[in-house]
């Protein structure tokens, strides 16, 4: 019976696929419908394929469709010489008002290097990486070097998803561009004579623009939401809740106040900002905490620091423990400029550096962090087990409520606080340490 049901499903799926209205974007003979823009690399038709060839001393070059596309399903095959980096632009644009007509927009990455980010999504000449395959390591083996690979891109509303050889790669939720051209990239090689004359080829390029929502494919790739201070439909369905709405202080109060601080914190442009006050700990606006407490959860916070800044994200906080000077008490995901702030040299074995469980457990020396951009801190709590993650990389994990934990606390600055770190639940805290720090996309999922 199960075999019969499976056979029927396959027949129905095949029928639906055959009903899909595919249109060729490349006629296999010439480049009609396409225009070279932005650079001077060469494109030509060879044996029914489009071949792009690198050229020294020219910027990134694109063979762009003359038409713009909004919602679509795009499929094509590609093969790239080993040493090159390339991509396919989607919903991309040129505008004299934006950096003198430079091509910008979403790019399906083609990356034959050891990094293996083919199928990821890059924002050309704008925000940079939106979906590196560190977000989905399982997809890093989908691309086959030296072979023809089949790509599929689904762009529908705010959703952009990619596949290579049937493997789900990227799953992006974003609203920067609703439409634009499709462009085949030959990447700039500068003046590298060793890379001149290398090729990237495309064939069997086809697009569906009608009834797109009917032909969307389920994807197992983890979703990345790039629309600030919002939840995508899948995040809502998965139980995520915004802790900061990007507009006001709803859900937050001062750690030692009944209301939100009247000074020291500013909400503007979708950011929750700690204002500078000479590096003093909780001496201006003071720390802020969530109105309610949390037990088991995944907490995600995007943060950006200024040079030399110190701050932190705390959990299992009990605001009543410290009514005097200084910060409220709780376990802390340390936020710090390790290169410039003196606290990085204090503590034991680096346990006051970025990503550490402050003054208790050090994070690795090498970690993914960019002081010039927003970074994502994640704290996962399941019972007594806790993990710290930074930009998708796990830094530390530990277990509390045991003899080893209590011994660790006994040799830290928290030794005088009763039952430190062993609370069943507590508030979430964002720290005022007197340096300018920005927060956004503060969200939580209770487990």
Contacts of 241 (CB under 8 A, 6+ apart): 231, 443, 444, 445, 446
Residues 243, 332 within the same domain: yes
Q: Tell which of 197, 225, 253 closes a domain.
A: 225
pLDDT tens digits along 74-129:
999 999 999 899 999 999 999 988 999 999 999 999 999 999 999 999 999 999 99
180 and 64, same structural domain?
A: yes
SS3 assignment, position 407: helix
Boundary-marking domain end, from 191, 225, 259: 225
Give the pLDDT band of residue 9 (cuts 50, 70, 90): very low
Q: Are residues 204 and 251 in the same domain?
A: no
| Strands 167-173 vs 224-225: parallel, antiparallel or unpaired | parallel
Give yes or no for residue 12 having a pLDDT over 80: no
For the chain, what is the domain count?
2
pLDDT tens digits, residue range 300-322? 999 999 999 999 999 999 999 88
284, 395: one domain = yes
- 18: pLDDT confidence band, cut at 50, 70 and 90? low
Q: Are 82 and 146 in contact (CB under 8 A)?
A: yes
Please say which residue of 196, 225, 254 terminates a domain: 225
Determine the Cα–Cα distance for residues 43 and 312; give it in Å rounded to an integer. Answer: 51
Q: Of 340, 395, 388, which Cα lies nearest the Cα of 367?
A: 395
**What digits encode the pLDDT tens for the residues 356-383?**
999 999 999 999 999 999 999 999 999 9
More confident residue, 15 or 125: 125
Tell me: do 292 and 167 sit in the same domain.
no
CATH of residue 49: 2.60.120.560
Residues of the domain holding 128: 20-225
157 within a domain of the structure (yes/no): yes
Q: Per the domain annotation, does 5 fall within a domain? A: no
Asked whether the predicted pLDDT for residue 401 surpasses 80, the reply is: yes
- Would 12 be classed as within a structural domain? no
Is 2 within a domain?
no
215 and 241, same domain (yes or no)? no
As a whole number, mean pLDDT of residues 406-430 equals 96
Q: What is the dihedral of CA 261, 262, 268, 272, to 10 degrees?
A: -10
Any domain includes 79: yes
For residue 19, what pLDDT is reported? 73
240 and 317 co-located in one domain: yes
What does DSSP say about strands 271-274 and 310-318: parallel, antiparallel, or unpaired?
unpaired
Judgement on whether residues 243 and 113 belong to the same structural domain of the protein: no
Query: How many CB atoms are located within 10 Å of the residue 187 CB?
Result: 20
User: In terms of domains, do 214 and 305 share one?
Assistant: no
In eight-state DSSP terms, residue 217 is P
Q: Is the dihedral of CA 323, 324, 325, 331 positive or negative?
A: negative
Tokens in use for 396? 């530390």
Is 249 in the same domain as 332? yes
What pTM value is reported for the model? 0.88
CA distances to 178, 189, 424 from 94, rounded to whole Å, are: 14, 22, 54
13 within a domain of the structure (yes/no): no
Q: Whole-number mean pLDDT of the chain?
A: 94
Does 157 share its domain with 256? no
């Amino acid at each position: 019976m199960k075999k019969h049901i499976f056979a029927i499903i396959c027949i129905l799926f095949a029928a639906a696929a055959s009903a899909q209205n595919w249109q060729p974007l490349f006629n296999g003979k010439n480049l009609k419908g396409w225009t070279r823009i932005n650079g001077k690399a060469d494109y030509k038709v060879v044996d029914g394929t489009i071949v792009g060839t690198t050229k020294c001393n020219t910027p990134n070059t694109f063979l762009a469709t003359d038409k713009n596309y909004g919602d679509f399903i795009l499929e094509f095959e590609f093969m790239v010489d080993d040493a090159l980096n390339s991509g396919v632009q989607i919903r991309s644009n040129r505008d004299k008002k934006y950096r003198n007509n430079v091509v910008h927009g979403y790019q399906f990455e083609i990356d034959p290097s050891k990094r293996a980010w083919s199928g990821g999504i890059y924002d050309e000449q704008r925000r940079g990486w939106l979906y590196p395959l560190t977000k989905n390591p399982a997809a890093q083996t989908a691309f086959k070097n030296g072979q023809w690979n089949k790509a599929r891109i689904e762009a529908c509303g705010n959703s952009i998803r990619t596949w290579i050889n049937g493997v789900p790669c990227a799953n992006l939720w974003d609203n920067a561009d609703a439409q634009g051209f499709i462009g085949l990239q030959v990447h700039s090689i500068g003046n590298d004579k060793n890379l001149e004359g290398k090729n990237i080829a495309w064939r069997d390029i086809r697009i569906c623009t009608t009834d797109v929502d009917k032909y969307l494919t389920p994807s197992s790739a983890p979703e990345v939401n790039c629309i600030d201070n919002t939840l995508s439909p899948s995040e809502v369905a998965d139980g995520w809740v915004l802790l900061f709405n990007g507009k006001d202080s709803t859900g937050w109060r001062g750690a030692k106040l009944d209301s939100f601080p009247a000074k020291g914190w500013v909400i503007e442009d979708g950011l929750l900002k700690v204002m500078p006050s000479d590096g003093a700990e909780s001496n201006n606006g003071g720390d802020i905490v969530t109105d309610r407490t949390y037990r088991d959860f995944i907490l995600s916070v995007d943060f950006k620091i200024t040079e030399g800044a110190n701050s932190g994200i705390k959990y299992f906080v009990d605001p009543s423990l410290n009514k005097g000077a200084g910060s409220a008490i709780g376990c802390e995901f340390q936020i710090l400029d390790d290169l410039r702030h003196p606290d990085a040299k204090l503590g034991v074995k680096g346990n006051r550096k970025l990503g550490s469980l402050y003054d208790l457990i050090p994070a690795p020396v090498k970690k993914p962090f960019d002081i010039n951009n927003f970074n994502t801190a994640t704290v996962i709590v399941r019972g007594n087990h806790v993990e710290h993650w930074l930009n998708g990389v796990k830094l530390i994990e530990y277990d509390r409520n045991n003899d080893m934990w209590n011994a660790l606390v006994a040799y830290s600055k928290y030794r005088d606080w009763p039952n430190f770190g062993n609370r069943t639940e507590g508030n979430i805290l964002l720290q005022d340490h007197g340096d300018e720090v920005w927060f956004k996309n503060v969200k939580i999922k209770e487990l």
